[in-house]
Chain A
């Protein structure tokens, strides 16, 4: 038996060695380095000096970072609740519909489209002169509603969030559909015979059963509003005009790669990680217990 133990430990280290070389060099060490840098001042060369909480104080006091933080909070809220609510309802409607496959196929398409291409698509949608929204308003005789959707705050952030719904809505509907197929038909039928149908059934019976799927949507949405909207905003507004539609991800890119202000960039990254992890921990503990 002892020989087997030693054998097992040797095999385990053989299995873990190569993957962990990758993980250490490209994830674990960089993450540690970013944490350290967020308390330092560094311009990409020369000495690294410790500055304590200076970077974080700057983030909370300088106006353009405050704007990015506010925008990011708007993104988190905007990207979570509306897509989740309508995704749940749409998934419920689709559950019993014939030809479900055609509808779900249409839903999948925006999920497959990359942030950059989404950026171009909504660049054409929101363009003030040649864009989809303004031209359609003109045709419908609603010309007075025409706006320059992306050129002033807070309208630009709201427009971009609504644009991202196309993708987020697809995501939450698909996840809820995946969840609903795990609920046994008996439960739904039993509820039906008890007179529990429609919205009531959705709220009282299906939604509680889908708790783990709701947790997935919540956690990925928070992560989305920090990392995946980067390409989308980069293409549509580049965070502009005058840095008004910036989110933390864009600020971090500009500080780190355009201004070589590594300390602030790392602090921004660390801040978004703290928010994401806190959200993930709350969400996961809620979804497990009670």
Chain B
């Protein structure tokens, strides 16, 4: 039994060692200059570290500073507003009885089950019609709409667990539906709202394809799209690509590590 335990730990440590390799290689690459990347052995630690230079090069060639600010705006605000809108679908669908309730629910969910490609192309024309192509508001509207379906699923399933007796008591006290929603359902659903917000925050942060298609210049583009542009740019630098990747994945990693439990709840939520 003892030996078995030790073997399991040895296996896990070996596994984590291999597991972290890709990340370690990314970090090593970000520390080296182009010369060092080409001529030093791969696993060697450079004598002079060029991390700051690489970060600055990435920020300069990819316009990552502006893109970083854009992405903070996009991910915070569309996740917030999208989750709020989703809760407005979730409440009637979970707690009121009306005709076509399930139809409404599935209609709201449809975006979760279809690949993005299914609505990507028309977005360009819709945004052009409203003169919103290549603007902050245009991309923000699209992100907000895409946030709604999954958030609706998470929040509705949570609201189902809130006992009806609370709502009935409020009704007897003369509380309107709007009052029940604002004073009872929203405050009680905070755990689900948080889960939905976190998932969608990470999703918007990590998205690249909508930024690629719906915006055309660095002042509106989100971070991941600009990061992807580094490779095709006129200065191709491995160090800059690695350093740019590190600064752009930093926040999602911290958020996910801090809120692990919330994300696990999110995986249980669809049931």
Task: List residues of A whose CB falls within 8 A of some B CB.
Answer: 7-9, 11-12, 14-16, 18-20, 22-23, 25-31, 33-34, 37, 90, 93-94, 97, 103-117, 119-125, 129-132, 135-136, 139, 166, 174-175, 177-179, 181-182, 212-213, 216, 219, 223, 226-227, 230-231, 234-235, 248-249, 252-253, 256-257, 262, 265-266, 268-270, 272-273, 276-277, 280
Contact = CB atoms under 8 A, between A and B. Distances in A.
Nearest to A35: B118
Interface stretch (B18-26, B48-56, B161-169, B188-196): B18-26
B126 interface: yes
B14 interface: no
Contacts of A120: 26, 227, 231, 241-242, 244-245
Nearest to B89: A19
Contact of A130 (B37, B117, B249, B256): B37
B22 A234 contact: no
Nearest to B24: A132
Counting chain B residues whose Cβ lies within 8 A of the other chain, the interface size class is: 35 or more
A253 B120 CA distance: 9
Given A14-B178, A231-B224, A273-B115, A174 B42 contact: no
Given A19-B85, A114-B208, A257-B213, A273 B26 contact: no
Interface of B: 8-9, 11-12, 15-16, 19-23, 25-26, 29, 37-38, 41-43, 85-86, 88-89, 91-92, 96, 98, 104, 107-108, 110-111, 113-124, 126, 141-142, 144-146, 148-149, 176-178, 181, 202, 205-209, 213, 224-225, 227-228, 231, 238, 241-242, 244-245, 248-249, 252-253, 255-257, 260, 263-264, 267-268, 270-271
Given A130-B37, A132-B21, A235-B231, A19 B148 contact: yes
Contact of B177 (A11, A257, A262): A11
Contacts of B8: 93, 97
Contacts of B231: 120, 123, 235
A178 B270 CA distance: 13
Contacts of A93: 8, 11-12
A110 B26 CA distance: 12
B186 to A, nearest CB: 12
18 contacts: A15-B89, A16-B104, A22-B141, A23-B145, A27-B111, A28-B107, A34-B119, A97-B12, A111-B256, A114-B205, A114-B206, A115-B208, A120-B241, A132-B22, A181-B264, A223-B115, A256-B120, A272-B117
Contact of B25 (A104, A124, A213, A226): A124
B134 to A, nearest CB: 14
